[in-house]
Amino acid sequence: TEQEEGGVSRRDFVKSGFAAGMAAGMAAGGVVGASDEAEAQEAENVMGKWWPSEWGPEDQAGASNRITPAKVLEAASLIQRGNIYRMGMVLEAGVPTFGARHVSITIPGGPTGGPFGEQELMYNDEMFSGEIGQVGSQFDGLGHIGAKVGNTTRYYNGYTQEQVGGSYGLNMLGTEHVKPFFTRGILLDVLSLKGGDRLPIGYVITMDDVIQTMRKQGISEPKEGDAVFFRTGHMKLWMKDNAEYNKGCPGPGATVAKWLAERKVACVGGDTWPVEAVPGENPRRPFECHIIWIVMNGIYIIENQKLDDLAKDQVYEFAWSFNPLPIKGGTGSPGNSVAIA
């Protein structure tokens, strides 16, 4: 359910400016800290005109355009041991969901059909009910998020609500326009840097955290077309304490989001439900990173990712492969990506 006993729903955060969640969240986890006031003030984003896209006023593929043949070859060169890491969580009823979203899978008939032939072949189908692109480990498409500019709601590349909206699938920016990903992946294991079981809810990952993590791991900073993943330890709550998982989460704030956008990454992911910190630096501007990445720069987000196995093996650079379902008019896609090292 949206509201669980003893917890605060994600929708309540949006309605209340996240005030209730911060007090409860900072007591959780094994690390105490928050971004300093100066960085929070610098991170406040003032909406400006972000269109047309560098790929032209009709582009609907966004940062997936950055996956060039050279980028694919660079990613392939990172495969040294042939190990494959599944990054998607099991999709099942009862997973943490945002607001009133739901997941339901049923097998009609049991078996669904048959028998056929002398061997009496039987078959089973499944019926899925839910927001297929926005539950579980999932990938946010460019039609998922818009922002108000004056009196007009605009999306990536300046498309308006009137252009994008559609009751039976989006008219523009659906996931059928996203190109496949095979690129350099980077794990930023901020949890290992800071210590503890998990970062506290509301902890904002700072640029200092990012720089120290890269230095500790011995990796270079993100480059154009890369996919960057933040490990916070928040996934430890998955299917164990969904109410706590849903209260909020640690993650990068607007300063780090802008830094990644300046480096022209293709995708940002993490082991939390929105990838960014909730509550963020500015309670009046919730989900600011979503706006910076998706709306203003066409950078995709992949959420609820399993990163512990990569961290355990200290795999910080890898080939990252993901092909979103080309759902016509879809706002997102199931997100079972893989890392290959």
pLDDT tens string 170-182: 999 999 999 999 9
Q: CATH number of the domain at 279, please.
A: 3.50.30.50
State the pLDDT at residue 43.
35
Q: Please report the pLDDT score of residue 47 as a whole number.
A: 63
- Residue 109 in any domain: the answer is no
Number of domains in the chain: 1
Full-model pTM: 0.85
- Structural domain contains residue 185: yes
Q: Is residue 122 part of a domain?
A: no
Residue 54 lies in a domain: yes
In this structure, the strands spanning 127-130 and 121-123 are unpaired
Answer whether 36's CB lies under 8 Å from 205's CB. Answer: no
Q: Considering the domain boundaries, does residue 110 fall inside one?
A: no
Cα–Cα distance list, 163 to 30, 82, 131, 294, 300 (Å) = 46, 44, 22, 17, 20
Cα–Cα distance, 162 to 171 (Å, whole number): 9
| Alpha-carbon distances of 245 from 7, 199, 248, 324, 331, rounded to whole Å | 9, 12, 7, 25, 23
pLDDT means over runs of 10, the chain (341 residues): 40 43 37 41 55 97 98 98 96 83 87 95 90 84 94 96 95 98 98 97 97 98 98 96 94 97 98 96 93 98 97 98 96 94 98
Judge whether 112 lies within some domain: no
Residue 295, φ and ψ in degrees, nearest 5: -70, -50
* Upstream peptide bond of 180 is cis (omega within 30 degrees of 0): no
Q: What is the CA radius of gyration of the chain?
A: 20
Is 296 a member of any domain? yes
Domain range for residue 136?
10-96+132-340
Within-domain flag for 117: no
Dihedral (Cα; 242, 247, 248, 250), 10-degree rounding: -60
Segment 205-238, tens digit of pLDDT: 999 999 999 999 999 999 999 999 999 999 999 8
